[in-house]
Structure 1
Amino acid sequence: MESILIHPESAEQLKTVKAVLKALKVQFEPQSNTLPLHVLESAERGIKQHKAGEGISAQEFMDKHFAKK
């Protein structure tokens, strides 16, 4: 059997879809749209570095991370 991924546009739509699925006795698994903790921590670290003036230009980043070895 195939699965479907639903993208409700409001809390009301989500509530209605869940109610319909429950009424039809269709199994579903709610999933959160939040990012993994390590990604959130990395983003926060980058924001703090930027605010502290520790950022680098795009060219400096490319030179540092994409330099041919």
Structure 2
Amino acid sequence: MIQNVSTYELFVGHTGATKEEFEPISQSLNALPVPWVESQDVSNAVLFLASDEARYITGVALPVDAGTLIK
């Protein structure tokens, strides 16, 4: 959702901004040293919650956000 030219330009500050220019800015918003969360990361969290290992987990928020909420 954030990987598009409009977002790049908004955060970088000029037209024609690239993903490479946006990457360090995006990474600075996260507590973990990654620029963004991949869709596979969200899918892995869903698979965990659907697995037997998560059978006693109820009513909990599980943010998959690379630490954006705590920063």
Q: Which has the higher contact order (CA 8 A, sep 6+)?
A: 2
TM-score, length of structure 2 as denominator length: 0.27
Instruction: Return the index of the structure with the highest Cα Rg.
Output: 1
Higher helix share: 1
